[in-house]
Structure 1
Amino acid sequence: MQVDPLAPLLELADVRPAFDAARAAVDAAMRHRALRRSGGPVAAEVALRSSVASAALDTHGFDLEGVRAGVVTDPVVQGALRATAALDGLTGTWAKAPRQVLARLHTLIARDVVPEAWLGRPVKPESVPRLDALSSLVTGGTRVPVLVQAAVVHGELLALKAFEGPNGVVARAAARLTLIGGGLDPRGLLAMDVGHRSREPEYVGAANAFATGTPDGLRSWLRHYASAAERAAEELVDICESAAYAQ
């Protein structure tokens, strides 16, 4: 019997309970009554907030209302918006050809940031074997909960820094694709990047810890990810409450 390479992560101290709690919070938020009538506007608001938060985590922070009004032309913000808008159409390909999707995401995100010749291409040859290994996981190489899969995709892409420019925005978009394609968040309602942004010092420290590959480093990142998912669920409830009140 083939051993699941990610299964040991769930045996790290406090990781399984943290993800169980996060999953319960997400499931509860997804049942909010406002989603029956206002699912579209809620998803649009989540997409906007996620894009702005993701760009901010790559040091391109701008006021949400300015982005909403269309007065922010920062290329990383615009790239994050393009990538978020493309996620739904990339979901099917992600499960079959993740390397192709990563190239597409980088092209969307970094189009006005790096030279055209660099778009969609890993800049570090040494990252290619690990990208291939990650692709194997995405295409069915693991059966751990999808939230754990997304955490690994996110952390690994941050650690690899495989692409030039706003590599973090690529990593966060790929993690959201994992959640959407894996069925946890099929409508793109979970603003994970808002969760990361709300705990930014922890996010940065835990990502650096993940890159060490040690059990403590992996545990630190996974626990952060679970906490960010709970915060994302709270954000969804807040958006839903605002949508319900506006009706």
Structure 2
Amino acid sequence: MTDPLAPLLDLPGVAEAVEAARDAVAEVHRHPANRRGWPTTAAEASVRAARASAALDGGAVEIPPSGTVTDPVLAGSLRVAEAIGPLLGTWQKAPLQALARLHVLAAADLVGADDLGRPSVGGSRLELLASLVAGGSKAPAPVLVAVVHGELLSLAPFGSVSGVIARAAARLTMIGTGLDTKGLAVPEVACLRRASEYRSAVEGFSSGTPEGVGAWLKFSCSTLEAGAREAASIADAVGQG
């Protein structure tokens, strides 16, 4: 069968962006602080990712000194971040089941129990996306990460927390494909810092035009590069601590 994502590598600039993203993430894995102390840097990356993701969906970005989070979007995003590791196997084998679980975690304080774990739209497209995640594509990891992220943002099948879930699914894909096995990169911070460009790029992806899809793929790869730089700053701080 023809890989449906294969043609995306032929879009102008995409192959180069994919290679740059791969190199940047691989480099931060070689940082001295990440050779043995990576669980510490990965934990910090996870929290930064959750805070940035919540902020993009209108939630609070700061965790109170007490540690008690009352903002429902941030609380959900932090719960989602904690579930990334445990959900990895499910994501690789049964992505729709993993998405349902992410919705339960992200929206627990926002919607009624009867609506948790159920996408409101996108049935056939979600099934196609799930088939790609579960081995239906041999596209380079940064491409699959971008497609997962962009498709879930475009469909918005989980209402107001679709963004949090899309970014978590992208993170699961980063780890599951081997692009970032330790979860060190923090592309979510780059998305927040470039929020206007982020939303514009998503609209381009949603349009389905070659130009729009290509621009989104390149934007996503650039956030992986920036996320690797964020990871390096975390590792530098840990190394000096």
TM-score range, shorter chain: over 0.9
Aligned pairs for 1:124-163 within 5 A: 124=121, 127-163=122-158
Q: How far is 1:55 from its partner? A: 0.3
- Flag structure 2 segments of 5+ consecutive residues without an equivalent: none
Q: Which moved more, 1:77-86 or 1:67-76?
A: 67-76
Deviations 1:112-171 (Å, cap 9, x if unpaired)? 0111111110112xx100001101101111001111101000000000011122110011
Aligned pairs for 1:187-198 within 5 A: 187-198=182-193
Partner of 1:178: 173
Aligned pairs for 1:36-55 within 5 A: 36-55=35-54
Distance in 2 (alpha carbons) for counterparts of 1:95 and 1:153: 13
Aligned residues: 241
Q: How far is 1:203 from its partner? A: 0.6
Partner of 2:34: 35
Distance in 2 (alpha carbons) for counterparts of 1:68 and 1:95: 36
Partner of 2:7: 8
Q: Secondary structure of the equivalent of 2:158? A: coil
Q: Secondary structure of the equivalent of 1:187? A: coil
Q: Which amino acid aligns with 1:86?
A: A
Whether the 8 Å contact between 1:114 and 1:164 is mirrored in structure 2 is no
Q: Secondary structure of the equivalent of 1:95? A: helix
Q: Which stretches of structure 1, 4 residues or longer, exceed 2 Å deviation after superposition?
A: 66-69
Q: Which amino acid aligns with 1:59?
A: G
CA RMSD after TM alignment: 1.2
Partner of 2:77: 80
Distance in 2 (alpha carbons) for counterparts of 1:245 and 1:67: 26
Q: How far is 1:188 from its partner? A: 1.4
TM-score under structure 1 length normalisation: 0.94
Q: How far is 1:72 from its partner? A: 3.5
Q: How far is 1:71 from its partner? A: 4.5
Whether the 8 Å contact between 2:29 and 2:35 is mirrored in structure 1 is no
